[in-house]
Amino acid sequence: MTLDQLTAFFGWAAIINIALLLVSAAALLVLRGPITRIHTRLFGLDEKDLGRAYFQYLAQFKIATIVFTITPYLALKIVA
């Protein structure tokens, strides 16, 4: 695999992950009521705990996206 192929791979992976993060955040903002009701019944948590869980999910997903896709992409762009 060439440097250009790796750069393209990490670039597209970053775009896909950022899009998924935005869709997840938008879904939680727009559909919070229905999503909370479903998860309350599924997992037996109250709304306060679910709010924390949603925030933790989005934060961890954002950190993983930065560490595993955006950082390698930027490093490869600098090297190239």
Please report, for the chain, the start and end positions of each structural domain, with discontinuous segments joined by +.
3-79
Q: Is 80 exposed, middle or buried (0-12, 13-18, 19+ CB in 10 A)?
A: exposed
CA distance 72 to 17: 14
pLDDT of residue 58 exceeding 90, the answer is: yes
pLDDT score of 80: 87
- pLDDT-based confidence at residue 64 (cuts at 50, 70, 90): very high
Residue pair 69/21 in contact by the 8 Å Cβ criterion: no
Residue pair 80/5 in contact by the 8 Å Cβ criterion: no
What is the pTM assigned to this prediction? 0.89
Region 3-32: mean pLDDT is 97
Percent of the chain with pLDDT over 70: 100
Region 35-46: mean pLDDT is 93
